[in-house]
Amino acid sequence: MTLLAIVAVVAAGSIAGALGSLLGIGGGVFLVPFLNAGLGVDFKVAAATGLMTVIATSSVVSAGRAGRHLINLRLGMLLEVATTIGGLIAAVTVAYLSNHALNLIFAIVTAVIAVLMLTRLDRRNVLEPTISPGAFGGRFHDDDTGRDVVYQVKRLPLGMSASFLAGYVSGTLGIGGGILKVPVLNAWCGVPMRAAAATSALMIGVTAAASAPQYFARGQVNPPVAAAAVVGVLIGSRAGFHFSSRARVKWLKLLMAVVVGAVSILYFRKAFA
């Protein structure tokens, strides 16, 4: 790794972190293809880097939300059983997947994410920018689902299955997987959007922590690259929070759905080249 490449990774991490916190999808879906297709980093090394940024993001977002009753610790703990098992199975089995298979899985998952983004343009979902705890306090009251909402969780097996799948995808591709389980928890399991997003943000850290050690043990974590990505993402999510009130999130989401769609096409081409 050259100095220039490390600077590029910090920059890419910042952009991914800012977009992730603005759009609520986590930065991994931008960072992993940048490292892999852009800088030529091996897919599994790129995925391991993504996992490190997922853990950092999860810890920061959850720390900022603590004590607000948004994180449903009980539901989260139960769903974490499913996501961590999914994450660990993925991290073990990914060693046997070829780059062709990984390209294809990444292409399919990014296609699904692009479609989910397009269908949910008006919803604020998954990771909200919450670096400074003081600043997001007032925003709960702006939302139609305030903190005094009482809800019951329905269709728990469905939530468990979605969590398992999100864990598997996270451990295989190095992305957070929140965008895959939050819509299920919200639409079918009766969890209000903000609680689903906050609980998911807590869960993705543990999920990534169930995958990352396997990559680490196989020597697929590149310390300077991972460090640069984590530092970049932490800087970027701060910046994303700063701009979130001014940015026209809906148009940005539309644009980024197109970008994610393009990434998907790129990986379909890589898979079949």
Partner 1 sequence: MIQRADDAAIERLEIQVGRLLQAGVLLATACLGGGLILWCIAGATHAVNLVLTTGLIVLMVTPLARVVASLVAYVRLRDWFFVATTVMVFAVLVAAWLVKS
Q: How far apart are CA 84 and CA 273, in angstroms?
A: 33
Smallest distance, partner 1 to C-beta of residue 67, A? 4
Nearer to partner 1, 146 or 213 (CB): 213
Measured between alpha carbons, how far is 2 from 11 in angstroms, rounded to an integer? 14
Binding segment (CB under 8 A) for partner 1, from list 78-86, 115-123, 146-154, 256-264: 78-86
Q: Counting contacts by CB under 8 A, is residue 45 touching partner 1? A: no
Residue from 38, 224, 245, 272 that binds partner 1 (CB under 8 A)? 224
CA dihedral 187, 117, 237, 13 (to 10 degrees): 130
The residues near 151 (Cβ < 8 Å, ≥ 6 apart) are 190, 191, 192, 195
- Residue 42 has a CB neighbour count (10 Å cut-off) of 14
80 lies in the site for partner 1, by CB under 8 A: yes
Minimum distance, C-beta of residue 173 to partner 1, in the bound complex (Å): 17
Interface residues for partner 1 in 17-36 (CB under 8 A)?
none
CB of 156 or CB of 187, closer to partner 1: 156
The tokens for 142 are 């702006």
Assess 153 for contact with partner 1 (CB under 8 A): no
Please say which residue, 36 or 58, places its beta carbon nearer to partner 1: 58
Choice between 37 and 235, CB closer to partner 1: 235
74 makes contact with partner 1 (CB under 8 A):
yes
Q: Which two tokens stand for residue 248?
A: 């026209």
| Helices (H), ranges, the chain | 3-23, 28-33, 43-65, 73-93, 99-119, 133-136, 139-142, 156-173, 178-187, 193-217, 223-243, 249-272
**According to the binding rule CB under 8 A, does residue 260 interact with partner 1?**
no
208 binds partner 1 (CB under 8 A): yes
Tell me the C-alpha to C-alpha distance, in Å, between residue 65 and each of 58, 68, 192: 11, 6, 16
Residue 217 near partner 1 by CB under 8 A: yes
Residue with tokens 């991994």: 28
**Burial environment of residue 80 by CB neighbours within 10 A (0 to 12, 13 to 18, 19 or more):** buried
Select the span of 3-11, 24-32, 39-47, 103-111 touching partner 1 (CB under 8 A): 3-11
Which residues form the interface with partner 1 (CB under 8 A)?
A: 3, 6, 10, 52, 55-56, 58-60, 62-69, 71, 73-74, 77-78, 80-81, 84-85, 87-88, 91-93, 95, 205-206, 208-214, 216-218, 221, 223-224, 226-228, 230-231, 234
